[in-house]
Amino acid sequence: MTLFEKIIALEIPATILAEEETWIAFQDISPQAPFHALIVPKKPIPRIAEATPENQMLLGTLLLAAARVAREQKLKNGFRIVINNGPDGGEAVPHLHLHLLGKRKMTWPPG
């Protein structure tokens, strides 16, 4: 069971920002920006590279969830959405999730 599955099951505490039937959003415990949330599907998908066509609607829902959290957190000047995939991509937890970062100017390339 991944760390995120334990948070979803309320076995590990988290600061929950929003939740619906298929996803949950909570603050990252190691923020990389003044605002850093994770949007996590409740259905475990190890990583984006392992998503299938049957996950298409859920993937779209996750992007809309990120936009909702950004609105609720008043990230009016902009924000960044990141999905890491695999060790070289920076993946730390093998459960698909979106990082929502904001409240600072982002640079490019992200590094």
Say which CATH class 3-102 falls into: alpha beta
Nearest to 97 by CA among 85, 83, 87, 110: 83
Q: Write out the chain's pLDDT in tens, 111 residues.
A: 999 999 999 999 999 999 999 999 999 999 999 999 999 999 999 999 999 999 999 999 999 999 999 999 999 999 999 999 999 999 999 999 999 999 999 999 886
Q: Provide the annotated active-site residues.
A: 97
> Which two tokens mark 101?
């970062």
Q: Give pTM, 2 decimals.
A: 0.95
Domain ranges (residues) in the chain = 3-102
Q: H or E stretch including 56?
A: helix 56-72
The bridge status of strand 35-41 relative to strand 79-82 is: unpaired
